[in-house]
Amino acid sequence: MILIDHQVGTMAWTHSHDINLVKANALKLARIAAALEIPTVITSSMEDMVQGPIISELQEILPQVFANRVKRPGIVNAMHHEGFNKAVKALGRKKLFVAGVTTEICITFPVLQMLEEGYEVQVSADASASYTKYGDDLALRRMEKAGAIITTVDMIVSELAVDWTSPNGQKLVPILGYR
């Protein structure tokens, strides 16, 4: 399962990474989900406030998931939001790929709870970002120390492909985008 939290407003706050690369990698995750029909949850916090709406390109890639996104009223730990928590549990998956902005707030706390609940969590560091590099590094270290696997989108693509000549591999090669 893939969890995505990328809002226009919060992306403007990030300075830890090239935000264009973070956005491109978030969209890659969405394309992976679409290509392999991986259950996905998109969440946002206070879309009508400064955080702003979810990036619109996600609607083009995952229209139904986008329409059903979990809109949180400001709850920092998404797992504390009943709708989000139920959405995660309803998918029946124990392996989660997570990405979002900001890493040190919107990603860290739900990931820590997911780990406590027995999920295997992989955090895509290159599809996430924070206000500062320092904050981002500390958040990734904290999650890793708790048991999260820190990864990249291309590592996720390769892990899911297993073999580039397989049906899944053939679907994922174009998403990798190496040329």
Residues with a known catalytic role? 106
Residue found by looking up tokens 């998918």 in the block: 91
Closest alpha carbon to 51 in 16, 3, 11, 100:
11
Which residue type occupies 130?
Answer: S
**CA–CA gap between residue 19 and residue 103 (Å, rounded):** 13
Inter-residue contact 142 to 130 (CB < 8 Å): no
Residue found by looking up tokens 């400001």 in the block: 74
